[in-house]
Amino acid sequence: MIRQMILVTMTGPDRPGIIAAITAEIAAAGARIRDIEQTVTHTLLSLSVLIDFPTGESDQRPLIKDLLFLAKELGLDLDFQVLTEAEYRRKSSRNAYVLTIMGGEVSARALASVSRILADSVVNIERITKLTQGQLRCVEMLVTAPEGYDVKAMNRKLLHAGSSLQVDIAVQKESLHRRAKRLVVMDMDSTLIQIEVVDELARIAGVGEQVAQITERAMNGELDFQQALRERVRLLEGLSADALDQVYRNIPFTPGAKTLVRILKRLGYKTAVISGGFKFFTDRLKEELGLDYAFANELEIRDGIVTGEVFGTIVDGARKAELLEEIAHREEIALDQVIAIGDGANDLPMLGRAGLGIAFNAKARVREEADTHINQQSLDSILYLLGLTEWEMAELGV
């Protein structure tokens, strides 16, 4: 005998006691709940319950009748459909992804465009959740795609659409590791802070324009990073070490940076800054923000004067990726549970190594090559990619 299941859907005004009444009715009939989901949007309830009879009872009409009467008493509309076990298993076998859409406003036009791309790609939207309070600035979609689906092709279409719609769209595989990230690794310059430290030092040394040109080319991947770093540092020869203190005292943190770190710490994350800049600054940031790890290049200073040299292993792109792996190994954290955030070409290796690599307000080449890129004013907007809502952030950020 083919066992049948009933998917019951009820909608109407929410009030206390609805779940208690419905589940009691199902229990009294000897039925079993196979699946249940409820949402409430501005006091309007939508409840779906999938039920069957463990004994294989074929006549389910009495229960449907009782639920119809109960729904009327509760002021709810009820609909139902019959599913076979095979249909249930087919629908339960999901190739699921989470889309996060964020911007100054997620407009109806943006939602329509994204939804059309998904529909044309034979991708089904199963759930939409608002993550912000007040104005619609971030929504999360749970979608399912056919097995073997080319998600990268869909992602490229979404990223292209996002640029014209003035929203950021991130696609992540829905899995345990998406919801169980444990380590966040950040670049320093133009990511955790809003400046390129070496450019600020160069400005004080009177060689700002020369160094800024080299920095720009290096961050776009036009120059070998190690070569570019040594060229810039040589131009700093003779600079007083007091200039480093001066720059640090006036460092402008990226909006949301301190909030991001504070919330991550409260959630139990390990945090690290890995920079192609200088240890003088990362060590102080580690202490000020309470980071767990900090790595950068060692700027040589003798008798209070910058010599124009760096010593030790250069922290370039490859070294950043190695350090990310070393931290994860030391903390016994899987790479799938690591988030890396950066903006320059030298960040691409670590972005690629992490379970979630985010290009934040990044250079053009980095945006093109990174799987996820967002262009938001506040660094703590990254928390939306973890599924946190704005009110959860407010609670954790105090």
Catalytically annotated residues: 187, 189
What DSSP state is assigned to residue 381?
A: G
Neighbour count for residue 363 (Cβ, 10 Å): 18
| CB-count exposure of residue 193 (10 Å: 0-12, 13-18, 19+) | buried
User: What tokens appear for 229 in the block?
Assistant: 């770093």
Closest CA to 377 of 264, 286, 253, 281: 253
What DSSP state is assigned to residue 254?
A: P
Q: How far is CA 340 from CA 167, 179, 319, 323, in A?
A: 21, 15, 14, 12
Angle formed by the axes of helices 390-397 and 257-266, nearest 10°: 80
Are the C-beta atoms of 320 and 276 separated by less than 8 Å? yes
Label residue 373 left, alpha or beta by phi (over 0 means left) and psi (-120 to 50 means alpha): beta
Are the C-beta atoms of 338 and 351 separated by less than 8 Å? no
Q: How far apart are CA 219 and CA 225, in angstroms?
A: 8
Angle formed by the axes of helices 257-266 and 279-289, nearest 10°: 60
User: What tokens appear for 212 in the block?
Assistant: 């800024």
